[in-house]
Amino acid sequence: MGDAGQLKRLERYAFAMYTAGVAVECMLRAFRHPDREHAAHHDVVGHFALCDRDRLGDRAWTKLRGPVQTVHLLWLNNFRYADESRLRKHLNELKYYDGMKRGSDTLKVACIELIDAALAIVTVGDERWRNP
């Protein structure tokens, strides 16, 4: 997540978003239930559904639901190939940012929201990993 934050500070929003999403994927895969086959393939909600809820804990599960939905809405694995104009087009098609103030940088706002959600997921995951 440190790299994603650094990329954001450098205004490399597309790659910052990609990096944050990969961090989320990795953390959720770490909690995959051992009896469930990995079949989510870059689907954050799918990875979350495959988590071992007993190992993750009900409190963490509840805390992660909102951030997982945010990442699901704003992140695509193919962002690593996307230029900023393509990402802005994708965000405009979502109509998620329709109410933004004129002149605001949609991509920058989405990047901040995605990194915040990813950081919440990784932080909770790290806490649960260290203190099962």
Parse the chain into domains and list their residue ranges: 2-130
16/115 Cα distance (integer angstroms): 8
Task: Determine the pLDDT at residue 10.
Answer: 97
Task: Determine the pLDDT at residue 39.
Answer: 67
56/118 Cα distance (integer angstroms): 16
Task: Determine the pLDDT at residue 104.
Answer: 80
Task: Determine the pLDDT at residue 83.
Answer: 85
Kindly list the averaged pLDDT for each block of 10 residues, start to end, along the chain of length 132: 95 93 94 77 88 92 96 85 85 78 84 96 95 84
Task: Determine the pLDDT at residue 98.
Answer: 76
Task: Determine the pLDDT at residue 68.
Answer: 97
DSSP string of 78-120?
Answer: GGGG--HHHHHHHHHHHTTTTTSPTT--HHHHHHHHHHHHHHH
Task: Determine the pLDDT at residue 93.
Answer: 85
**Integer CA distances (angstroms), 69 to 10, 30, 72, 121, in order:** 26, 18, 5, 11
